[in-house]
Amino acid sequence: MTRLRAFTAGVWDFVVGDDWRTAAGVVLVLGLVALLAAAGVGAWWLMPPAVVGLLALSIRRELRARERQAAHTQDQLTI
């Protein structure tokens, strides 16, 4: 059971990593692509812009978090 738990934790860490929102976005887009493909629509074009958009959102969240952290650090230095 320990090996199964370690394997599951490793897969979770690899897939989700530090940003569960990006992982959820990828799952949603893959589901949408699957639905469109099942309906006979060529949906290959959907993944590239979705990945670019998810990456941009992830970078934006990280930059905002760093700005908040820097402001908090600056506040601590002035006290």
Q: What is the pLDDT of residues 24-53, one digit of tens each?
A: 999 999 999 999 999 999 988 999 999 999
Domain range holding 71? Answer: 18-78
Residue 68, in any domain of the structure: yes
* Interatomic CA distance for residues 66 and 55, integer angstroms: 17
Q: What is the mean pLDDT of the chain?
A: 88
Residue 12, in any domain of the structure: no
5-9, 18-22, 71-75: least confident range? 71-75
Residue 51, in any domain of the structure: yes
Residue 8, in any domain of the structure: no
Contact 37, 43 (CB under 8 A): yes
Task: Tell me the pLDDT band of 79, cut-offs 50, 70 and 90.
Answer: low
Count of domains in the chain?
A: 1
The token pair at 75 is 């506040």
What's residue 41's pLDDT? 92
Angle between helices 20-38 and 47-78 (to 10 degrees): 170
What's residue 70's pLDDT? 85
